[in-house]
């Protein structure tokens, strides 16, 4: 019996600066017969994320091989008792239409009535979990405190704004790349103030948006945003460092370190970086807290969904250019 054909994306060149479509290639591959313990998954949704830019460098993704990333799919063939046909699963064999997985490398999605499937890659996925860990475990945001979020219109940022509001933050400020995105943050996503970082020195915009200073900064950018936040933080403020999008296309020539780093000492600030993969045990906490709000409609996943596997590279490049609001997802199949 003939085997199905999967379409996959390979990395074929390492970018010099911003990646382009020429760094990728679409490849058709015949799916091998399943071994005992394996299952074949038809992929439905794929996440594209800023960290993937770093994986394109030497030491990251292999050239001329399928790539990885968070993916949702349905089991269509199985030789694994734990992964029955028809089950919805999450795995990391992304950038392909069909994936062969094992029970050790895939997990069954919980049955959450009233929650859209795509939420498992946005507010309930890695981005939402990153925001939850940053706010509750790293920065330990307290009711009434003032929070600043950079790259606030992205997946982590929009999740953080909604979570912070539910956690009782007193004032939530965000920076983003356009006036339209700033308006979306304040009109739809719970931010009290937001600004376009192109509109002048970030330190000045922060003083206007948070005149009494900051208690917590969730950093997704680094560079000048981090410097401005250090300047605006009150004594014993906390910084949860999640990402550094300002340098992802400048890995060989990163932006200068903040000139006021010694203020971390002078103000007794705490700066802590983290990787969400080290906090996967926090996922049940996030589910228990957020699922009731998703069901009630108090939280609506903020997502930009691109249709079609043939547009997955476009979606990834668009995400790096800031063309999305909220989490950027690719809908591969219905």
Q: What is the CATH number of the domain that holds 102?
A: 3.90.180.10
| Residue 309 located in a structural domain | yes
At 244 the pLDDT is 82
At 1 the pLDDT is 63
SS3 call for 239: strand
Give the span between the Cα atoms of 72 and 44, in whole angstroms. 6
At 249 the pLDDT is 60
Task: Kindly state whether residues 169 and 184 are assigned to the same domain.
Answer: yes
Task: Kindly state whether residues 45 and 116 are assigned to the same domain.
Answer: yes
Length of the chain in terms of residues written? 334
Domain range enclosing 195? 126-277
Residue position matching structure tokens 């203020």: 263
pTM strictly above 0.85 = yes
At 256 the pLDDT is 73
Task: Kindly state whether residues 81 and 161 are assigned to the same domain.
Answer: no
Task: Kindly state whether residues 216 and 247 are assigned to the same domain.
Answer: yes
Alpha-carbon torsion, ordered 309, 314, 316, 321, to 10 deg: -160
Task: Kindly state whether residues 109 and 144 are assigned to the same domain.
Answer: no
Task: Kindly state whether residues 113 and 137 are assigned to the same domain.
Answer: no
Task: Kindly state whether residues 257 and 176 are assigned to the same domain.
Answer: yes
| Residue 286 located in a structural domain | no
At 257 the pLDDT is 75
Count of structural domains within the chain:
2
At 246 the pLDDT is 66
Cα–Cα distance list, 206 to 27, 197, 267 (Å): 47, 10, 18
Task: Kindly state whether residues 315 and 251 are assigned to the same domain.
Answer: no
| Residue 289 located in a structural domain | no
| Residue 63 located in a structural domain | yes
Task: Kindly state whether residues 258 and 174 are assigned to the same domain.
Answer: yes
| Residue 295 located in a structural domain | no
Give the span between the Cα atoms of 42 and 52, in whole angstroms. 22
At 248 the pLDDT is 62
Give the span between the Cα atoms of 284 and 174, in whole angstroms. 27
User: Radius of gyration over alpha carbons of the chain, in Å?
Assistant: 20
What CATH number is associated with residue 136? 3.40.50.720
Task: Kindly state whether residues 146 and 253 are assigned to the same domain.
Answer: yes
Cβ partners under 8 Å of residue 56, min gap 6? 11, 14, 15, 19, 23
All residue ranges of the chain with pLDDT < 50 are none
Task: Kindly state whether residues 149 and 113 are assigned to the same domain.
Answer: no
| Residue 150 located in a structural domain | yes
Task: Kindly state whether residues 113 and 131 are assigned to the same domain.
Answer: no
Taking 3-state DSSP, the helix, strand and coil percentages for the chain, each rounded to the nearest 5, stand at: 35, 25, 40
Element at 159 (helix H, strand E): helix 155-166
| Residue 77 located in a structural domain | yes
Which residues sit opposite 307 in a β-bridge?
331
At 279 the pLDDT is 97
- Contact between 10 and 67 under an 8 Å Cβ cutoff? The reply is yes
| Residue 206 located in a structural domain | yes
């Amino acid at each position: 019996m003939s085997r199905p054909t999967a379409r996959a994306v390979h990395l074929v060149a390492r970018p010099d600066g911003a990646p382009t479509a020429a760094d990728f290639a679409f490849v058709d591959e015949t799916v091998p017969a399943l071994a005992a313990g394996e299952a074949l998954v038809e992929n439905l949704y794929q996440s594209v994320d800023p960290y993937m830019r770093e994986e394109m460098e030497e030491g990251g993704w292999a050239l001329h091989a399928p790539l990885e990333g968070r993916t949702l799919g349905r089991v269509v063939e199985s030789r694994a008792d734990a992964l029955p046909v028809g089950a919805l699963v999450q795995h990391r064999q992304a950038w392909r239409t069909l994936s062969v997985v094992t029970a050790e490398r895939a997990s069954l999605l919980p049955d959450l009535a009233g929650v859209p499937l795509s939420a498992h890659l946005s507010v309930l996925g890695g981005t939402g979990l990153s925001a939850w860990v940053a706010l509750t475990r790293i920065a330990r945001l307290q009711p009434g405190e003032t929070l600043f979020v950079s790259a606030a219109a992205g997946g982590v940022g929009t999740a953080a704004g909604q979570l912070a509001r539910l956690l009782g933050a007193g004032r939530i400020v965000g920076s983003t790349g356009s006036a339209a995105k700033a308006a979306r943050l304040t009109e739809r996503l719970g931010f009290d103030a937001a600004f376009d970082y192109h509109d002048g020195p970030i330190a000045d915009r922060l003083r206007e948006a948070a005149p009494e200073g900051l208690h917590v900064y969730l950093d997704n950018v680094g560079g000048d945003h981090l410097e401005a936040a250090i300047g605006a933080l009150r004594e014993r403020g906390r910084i949860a460092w999640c990402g550094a999008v300002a340098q992802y296309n400048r890995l060989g020539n990163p932006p200068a370190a903040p000139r006021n780093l010694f203020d971390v000492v002078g103000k007794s600030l705490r700066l802590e970086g983290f990787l969400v993969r080290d906090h996967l045990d926090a996922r049940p906490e996030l589910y228990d807290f957020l699922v009731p709000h998703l069901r009630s409609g108090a939280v609506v996943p903020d997502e930009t969904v691109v249709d079609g596997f043939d547009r997955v590279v476009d979606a990834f490049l668009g995400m790096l250019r800031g063309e999305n609001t909220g989490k950027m997802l690719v809908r591969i199949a219905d």
